[in-house]
Chain A
Amino acid sequence: GESVGLHLPTLSVQEGDNSIINCAYSNSASDYFIWYKQESGKGPQFIIDIRSNMDKRQGQRVTVLLNKTVKHLSLQIAATQPGDSAVYFCAEILDSSYKLIFGSGTRLLVRP
């Protein structure tokens, strides 16, 4: 289940289960959203993106859902694997901008 630790919220899942990571974004003018995966000691790695004119986009094992009404973004990972263990950040870009505005992150732990 999901819990809030001292710092990053942590989601612990069993290997093979599906994971859902949630993010609330702040600005209704944001029109582009990205999910990044960050492993320990590394830079953020692009996973999937979605534009504001869409509400769902699928990649390989990942799906991003966008609900503009409540300013909510989610990342679904199917058949979670140990290699998926990392911190996941959502990021938004305001209309016609370039600045990535990062959310606070969620740590995903995959139990073998």
Chain B
Amino acid sequence: NAGVMQNPRHLVRRRGQEARLRCSPMKGHSHVYWYRQLPEEGLKFMVYLQKENIIDESGMPKERFSAEFPKEGPSILRIQQVVRGDSAAYFCASSPRQEEQFFGPGTRLTVL
């Protein structure tokens, strides 16, 4: 059973471009969570999704950020018009139910 997959592992964007981060949960997991991590800090919750539904997006900035988890395919975290402050590691986790979250390897976003 493959773990949580994230791609790309590294993403470089110039200010104003769009960033799309993908997350494929573990097989059988219907809960997906996105977290952001700045260097030398703990992870911060952004959004929690189940298939086709956003359950909680209270940790996500209201502008430029969006997330989806369609019926088919991976979960996508989308950042429009990126700024330097968006540079961070973005981690996806999945779980078969609440609490047991398994993390992917992360996508490291660098905004030039």
Residues of A within 8 A of B (CB): 7-8, 32, 36, 41-46, 89, 91, 93, 97-105
How far apart sit A99 and B46, CA to CA, in the bound complex (Å)? 9
What 7 A-B pairs are tightest by C-beta distance, nearest first?
A: A102-B42, A43-B103, A7-B40, A98-B98, A99-B45, A44-B103, A102-B43
CB-CB under 8 A from A102, the residues of chain B are: 42-44
The smallest beta-carbon distance between A100 and chain B, in angstroms, is 6
Within 8 A of A (CB), among B2-61: 4, 31, 33, 35, 39-45, 48, 56, 59
How far apart sit A27 and B74, CA to CA, in the bound complex (Å)? 33
The smallest beta-carbon distance between A53 and chain B, in angstroms, is 15
Of B41, B42, B93, B103, most buried by chain A (CB within 10 Å of CB) is: B42
The smallest beta-carbon distance between A98 and chain B, in angstroms, is 4
Of B33, B43, B91, most buried by chain A (CB within 10 Å of CB) is: B43
How far apart sit A91 and B103, CA to CA, in the bound complex (Å)? 13
Q: Is B66 an interface position by the 8 A CB rule? A: no
Residues of B within 8 A of A (CB): 4, 31, 33, 35, 39-45, 48, 56, 59, 91, 93, 98-106
Look across to chain B and name the residue whose beta carbon is closest to the beta carbon of A89: B42
Look across to chain A and name the residue whose beta carbon is closest to the beta carbon of B4: A43
CB-CB under 8 A from B31, the residues of chain A are: 98
CB-CB under 8 A from B4, the residues of chain A are: 43
Contact A93 B99 (CB under 8 A): yes
- Sample of 9 further A-B pairs with CB below 8 A, known A7-B40, A98-B33: A41-B105, A43-B91, A43-B104, A43-B106, A98-B31, A100-B33, A102-B42, A105-B40, A105-B41
How far apart sit A46 and B99, CA to CA, in the bound complex (Å)? 12
Contact A101 B45 (CB under 8 A): yes
